[in-house]
Amino acid sequence: MHSRNLGRSVFGDLKNTGNLLSPEEAHSLLTEWVPNEKLRLHMKQVAANMKAWAIEKEGADEQTALKWEQAGLLHDADWEKYPDDHCRIIIEELERRNIDPEVIHCIASHGPTVFGVEPVSKMDKMIYAIDELSGLIHAYSLLRPEAYDGMEVKGVKKRLKEKAFAAQVSREDISDAVSRIDTTLEELIQFIIDHQKAVS
Ligand SMILES: [Fe+2]
């Protein structure tokens, strides 16, 4: 199998700290690179969870919250068009555009077993923890006639235990990611239910 290991651990340039894509630039990148609406929705959900986490749990200021949001929004930007080179292509694109190195590192560390980059900052650790879980919770919402209404943590945990449900979601990654943060799986599930239900 083609290796997606990035083979490096330093991304971007410190002199670009604070540089982000404008909302318009991020929007057009998404429209151009990600025609698949379901994937776009996933990226928007991860972005909403990341931004809310930064503000509510980390007490982040506006600029920091925007970084968390942008990392979430762009983390899978190259997945549809370059599956064999995900996430090298989006990383190189953001390096070319002089984007904040913390955002690029965060994207590079969203799957340490695949990309070979360890999450370091809290932002890195949270994208790793949120990504797969967000996808599983969304898949569960599609199964329920009431979607997110009345969704309970225990229902999500039951789906997590059913290996055949959303089988592409790595249970190992989820438990590894949660073991690296100071939050229980239950708390994180509840947070994601509460924050991604309104994303469309
Ligand atoms: Fe993702």
Q: How many A from CA of 75 to the centre of ligand 1?
A: 6
Residue reference for tokens 């609406």: 37
Q: Which of the 8 DSSP states describes residue 121?
A: S
Share of the chain above pLDDT 90, in %: 98
Q: Is the peptide bond before 87 cis (omega within 30 degrees of 0)?
A: yes
Domains in the chain, start-ordered, CATH in brackets?
14-196 (1.10.3210)
Question: What average pLDDT is seen over the chain?
Answer: 96
Which of 58, 53, 80 lies closest to 69, judged by CA?
53
Distance (angstroms) between ligand 1 centre and the Cα of 154 equals 23
Predicted TM-score of the model (pTM)? 0.97
- Sign of the CA dihedral running 111, 52, 196, 37: negative
Give me ligand 1 centre to Cα 73, in Å: 9
- Residue 2 in this model has a pLDDT that exceeds 80: no
**What was the pLDDT predicted at 1?**
52
pLDDT at 3: 83
CA of 98 to the centre of ligand 1 (A): 23
Question: What is the per-residue pLDDT across 67-107, written as a single tens digit (0 to 9) for each?
Answer: 999 999 999 999 999 999 999 999 999 999 999 999 999 99
Q: Which residues contact 92 (CB under 8 A, 6 or more apart)?
A: none
And the tokens for 23?
């909302």
Distance (angstroms) between ligand 1 centre and the Cα of 42 equals 7
CA 111 to the chain's CA centroid: 9
Question: 131 C-alpha vs ligand 1 centroid, how far in Å?
Answer: 5
Mean pLDDT of 110-130: 97
Question: What is the three-class DSSP state of 191?
Answer: helix
